Amino acid sequence: MEDCKKSPSDSLSCTDAIVLRLSESDPLFDKKKKLLQSKGYDVEVHIQLKNASHPKWARTTAEAMLQISRIMHLDEAELYFREDDSCSPMGYYTQKNELEALNSMLSLVNSSFLDDTCSHKDVLQDLREATMQLICDFGDKNITESTVINSQNCDKENYLLQWGEKSGVKNRLQIAHIKGFGRGAIAVTDLKVGDVALEIPVSAIISEDAMKNTDMFPALEKVDGISTETMLLLWSMKERFNSSSTFKDYFDTLPEEFNTGLSFSINAIVALDGTLLLEELIQAKEHLRNQYDELFPALCEDHPDIFPPELYTWEQFLWACELWYSNSMKIQFADGALKTCLIPIAGFLNHSLYPHITQYGKVDSATNTLKFRMSRPCHAGEQCYLSYGNFSSSHLITFYGFMPQMDNPYDIIELDIDGSQDVCSDEYDASSGTTHMVRGTWFSDNHSIFHYGLPAPLLNHFRRAREDILDADSPLLEKLKIEIEILEDLSLTFSGMMENLGEVDSESRENMDWDVKLAEEYKNLQRRIISSILSSCYAGRKLVEDELCKSLAKDDGSPC
């Protein structure tokens, strides 16, 4: 799941103004600075509170702040695929970016209320309400229905909730079996922005401290090169069967099989032929197998009392790997230490591209608890979603065992093109030092000539590659001919990718095993992405040819 992280912007407030500032420590500072400047903003923007006289000031100001905050919260992929005229057909970059931008604004306004020197409390209140309304409007557009399967037994999950209550967990969620998701967390009551859906004391978190207090740690300390994460993995293999474990109720809720990509059968692996995920899975499984062979049977032979052979089989090792990959979180503790942990109860929160909770990785030093605070409202009976991170479907399949149910803006195909030679022009150019990539062209709002729904950095790369025969003063006819060449090259590249994916499997999905079905769904997604690119290239070429025909007709008077 997603690590805790610092905001990419340093925002502050003062007596007469709210200040949005892009942090100089942001690794994308230069690119964001250019983008802000292209929109007429600086890296530091002052929102004057004393100028709030217009009746619509709060809403207008909140929308202006949102434009700035969106840019300050962009990541590398969002920067690469951004478009000049609008964020996207949806009016924003990505769902998670929108929530982070809005909640950053809300946090800034809220902190201003704590400033005793502030003399504009009424203005701040109006701005806060306007920001809250933007968040609610966004949430209302993205409510998803969840069907609870009441026939499924939840006794183990309820025991865990009871254990949590005794351990000091504060919980406003109910665990249920949900159609299409397996288990998930349902809001017991209406949750507003800022409400804490789940609060877990540090004592109820499984961290390296639990492992270091066992007889296993002294033995593992002597193993060369072993990481704390691997120690925890080995600890959980044994703790799973410990009837007196503090975390017995948690381990009892864990499945016998996690069904992630790491458990794919040979048939599923074969079904992925022609995709990059095939190689990724093979490499991941080989890495885990080598890691296991380096540890066993040596540990069992050297310490049979600590590492019983029956508990440390390859199958048990793979189960523990899948547990930690799919359920662990990076948590920053009050002392600043960053640790990989398992969080009982929180593991039931499912991932969504429209999450209710986006930031959750830092222990509150005042209460020594981990708080899962709402970034947008969640109504009673609605499934409460978490963001695991900005991950592609291939990553989610490999380590979590599912694909998002909605179009994922992070389903990106990286291209084997050297982007290091790209030279920045005076205008903003996201391609400098960036790997070139594509995604489904349905995410684009600009399919006009010279754009085609394709990312501008990629097109500009190909144009620069032909700069010896083309410059800014070249006639339009020459530029149009170059465009046709570029679109033809792209069509050839992606036609080859489509051929490598082979024919669509005609077998009914109802007859497929879970892993083969998931593999075929992913392969069909790849086909859909590539098909959209080919369609855009075809439509783009038609646009260019029509324009070329018009230009020729204009030059020599011949009919088009």
> Does position 1 have pLDDT exceeding 80, yes or no?
no
Instruction: Please report the pLDDT score of residue 425 as a whole number.
Output: 43
Instruction: Please report the pLDDT score of residue 9 as a whole number.
Output: 54
Angle between helices 476-500 and 456-465 (to 10 degrees): 120
> Does position 6 have pLDDT exceeding 60, yes or no?
no
Tens of pLDDT along 136-145?
Answer: 998 877 677 7
CB-hemisphere CA count at 13 Å for 17? 10
Instruction: Please report the pLDDT score of residue 122 as a whole number.
Output: 84
Instruction: Please report the pLDDT score of residue 419 as a whole number.
Output: 52
The phi, psi pair for 170, rounded to 5°, reads: -105, 125
- The stretch 420-431 carries a mean pLDDT of 46
Residues of the chain with pLDDT > 70: what percent?
Answer: 89
Question: Which tokens hold the place of 166?
Answer: 């005794």
Q: With the CA atoms of 192, 194, 200 and 205 taken in that order, what torsion angle do they form, in degrees rounded to the nearest 10?
A: 120
- The stretch 437-448 carries a mean pLDDT of 95
Tens of pLDDT along 123-157?
Answer: 889 999 999 999 999 887 767 777 888 878 889 99
Question: Which tokens hold the place of 66?
Answer: 């949102």
> Does position 34 have pLDDT exceeding 90, yes or no?
yes
How many angstroms separate the CA atoms of 49 and 127, rounded? 10
Task: Tell me which of 385 and 1 has the higher pLDDT.
Answer: 385
**Residues across the chain:** 560
| Contact yes or no for 164/347 (Cβ under 8 A) | no
| Contact yes or no for 66/73 (Cβ under 8 A) | no
- Residue 10: pLDDT band by 50, 70, 90 thresholds? low
Instruction: Please report the pLDDT score of residue 4 as a whole number.
Output: 47
- The stretch 519-533 carries a mean pLDDT of 97
Residues of the chain with pLDDT > 90: what percent?
Answer: 73
* Domain map (residue ranges) of the chain: 12-141, 412-556
- Residue 113: pLDDT band by 50, 70, 90 thresholds? confident
Question: Which tokens hold the place of 539?
Answer: 């439509």
- The stretch 195-222 carries a mean pLDDT of 95
pTM of the entire structure? 0.90
The phi, psi pair for 13, rounded to 5°, reads: -130, 160
Neighbours of 164 (CB within 10 A): 21
Between 328-337, 378-387, 503-512, the lowest mean confidence (pLDDT) is in 503-512
Instruction: Please report the pLDDT score of residue 115 as a whole number.
Output: 67
Four-way CATH pick for 12-141: 1.25.40, 3.90.1420, 3.30.70, 2.60.40: 3.90.1420
Instruction: Please report the pLDDT score of residue 479 as a whole number.
Output: 87
> Does position 476 have pLDDT exceeding 90, yes or no?
no
> Does position 217 have pLDDT exceeding 90, yes or no?
yes
Q: What is the 3-state secondary structure (H, E, C) of 355-372?
A: CCECCCCEEECCCCEEEE
Task: Tell me which of 441 and 152 has the higher pLDDT.
Answer: 441
How many angstroms separate the CA atoms of 173 and 186, rounded? 5
Neighbours of 77 (CB within 10 A): 20
- The stretch 197-218 carries a mean pLDDT of 96
Neighbours of 56 (CB within 10 A): 8
Tens of pLDDT along 248-307?
Answer: 999 999 999 999 999 999 999 999 999 999 999 999 999 999 999 999 999 999 999 999
The pLDDT mean for the chain works out to 89
How many angstroms separate the CA atoms of 77 and 431, rounded? 10
- Residue 538: pLDDT band by 50, 70, 90 thresholds? very high
Tens of pLDDT along 368-417?
Answer: 999 999 999 999 999 999 999 999 999 999 999 999 988 999 999 999 87
Between 194-203, 512-521, 543-552, the lowest mean confidence (pLDDT) is in 543-552
Instruction: Please report the pLDDT score of residue 111 as a whole number.
Output: 85
- Residue 220: pLDDT band by 50, 70, 90 thresholds? very high
Between 62-66, 86-90, 266-270, 529-533, the lowest mean confidence (pLDDT) is in 86-90
Angle between helices 393-400 and 314-327 (to 10 degrees): 130
Instruction: Please report the pLDDT score of residue 418 as a whole number.
Output: 63
How many angstroms separate the CA atoms of 83 and 203, rounded? 47
Instruction: Please report the pLDDT score of residue 416 as a whole number.
Output: 85
- Residue 550: pLDDT band by 50, 70, 90 thresholds? confident
- The stretch 78-86 carries a mean pLDDT of 79
Instruction: Please report the pLDDT score of residue 49 as a whole number.
Output: 83
> Does position 109 have pLDDT exceeding 80, yes or no?
yes
Q: Helix H segments across 142-181?
A: 155-166
